Amino acid sequence: MKGPIMGYQRPSATSAISDSWQGHKNRRPPSQEPGTDYPCAYGSSIVAPFDGTVAEVKTSSSGATGRFVTIDFVDGRRARALHLSRVLVSAGQKVTRGQEIAKSGASANGRDWGVGAHVHETLFPSHRYVFGPNGTLDFERYVGAGGSASFVQVVADRQNYLNAARGERLVVDGLFGAATRDAIKRYQTYLKSRGWYTGAIDGDWGAGTQAGHDNAYAEWVRATQAPPAPQFHTATVADIASLPNTRGLQKIARLYGYKGAFDNQFGASSRAGMQAFLNHNYGGSLAAWLRAKWGYVGNDQWGPVMAAAATRADTANWAAL
């Protein structure tokens, strides 16, 4: 994949919709796989909406889906086109946006004409099937004009995340440009260092990167969504932000994935790095580290004595590391 990512291409030449994603959800009972229905003449060309790898094909007309092609997109999502008459690709095959993958049809329930002629395009948020009325995304929302770069929500989501959790400084424009690719490479390197990713450092956010990210994201959420602090509470890395200086502790955080500046702003990514350090060495406990290394004597509750020990640690680390 070269250059900026574009939005998705519709699977068929038509933009007419015979039943929308919301329409599928509004059915009684609701669709178990809400997607977008595009009416198209039997045998029309069906294309890959985006670059990716064919995850599954079904060449029999059985079941509610009939013949289908499922593609895992390089952006981490999955789509499948249903009711086909002919499948032209096979599982494991790489495809590119706009490449013909099938001929449209009306297959379902064991018949070539089990339904009216149309293609049903389903968009799943990740590389797995999630069935039920709330399992899918509205494909139409992600359609982008062919031939020119356009905003892609999932790219913007990742840019926001990489800025907040990884200290990147990306423009959140929803475009998959060189800077974003480089940031994803750094993220892949980090995921690899944590043992959460074994793939190539290529900047392509595929299934492996997504799986590693799921671990990192869960850790980040745990580290950053500390409940509001009562007056007396078990010390957490969030308490560090109340110290007058934190740049020495940011040096420690940087050894554990923090990429931001030593600026005394002990934000989400500083906390995540510090928490990773504590997890690795002190069972996740700030108090245990301060007792072991910085002369703190006391319980696990945050207070002035522990704050003084943390400040000693900060001052020494700023000077020494």
Binding site for Zn ion (CB under 5 A): 37, 120
37 versus 239: smaller Cβ distance to Zn ion: 37
83 versus 166: smaller Cβ distance to Zn ion: 83
26 versus 90: smaller Cβ distance to Zn ion: 26
Q: Which residue is nearest to Zn ion (CB)?
A: 120
Beta strands in the chain (DSSP E): 36-39, 45-47, 52-58, 67-73, 78-84, 86-87, 94-95, 100-103, 118-124
| CB 130, min distance to Zn ion, A | 16
| CB 267, min distance to Zn ion, A | 45
| CB 120, min distance to Zn ion, A | 3
| CB 13, min distance to Zn ion, A | 18
105 versus 257: smaller Cβ distance to Zn ion: 105
Of the candidates 78, 55, 81, 77, the one whose C-alpha atom is nearest the C-alpha of residue 68 is: 81
Alpha-carbon dihedral of residues 27, 29, 35, 38, nearest 10 degrees?
-50
| CB 167, min distance to Zn ion, A | 43
Token pair belonging to 65: 């889906």
67 versus 120: smaller Cβ distance to Zn ion: 120
What letter does residue 25 receive in the DSSP assignment?
H
Q: Is 90 exposed, middle or buried (0-12, 13-18, 19+ CB in 10 A)?
A: exposed
Tokens 């990167």 identify what position?
209
| CB 18, min distance to Zn ion, A | 8
Peptide bond into 29 cis (omega under 30): yes
CB atoms within 10 A of CB 38: 25
**Strand 100-103 to strand 52-58: parallel, antiparallel, or no bridges (unpaired)?**
unpaired
Cβ 238 vs Cβ 268: under 8 Å: no
| CB 76, min distance to Zn ion, A | 23
36 versus 246: smaller Cβ distance to Zn ion: 36
What distance in Å separates the CA atoms of residue 155 and residue 139, rounded to the nearest whole number? 15
82 versus 165: smaller Cβ distance to Zn ion: 82
Q: Please give the C-alpha separations between residue 83 and each of 34, 80, 112, 185, in angstroms, as whole numbers.
A: 14, 10, 8, 38
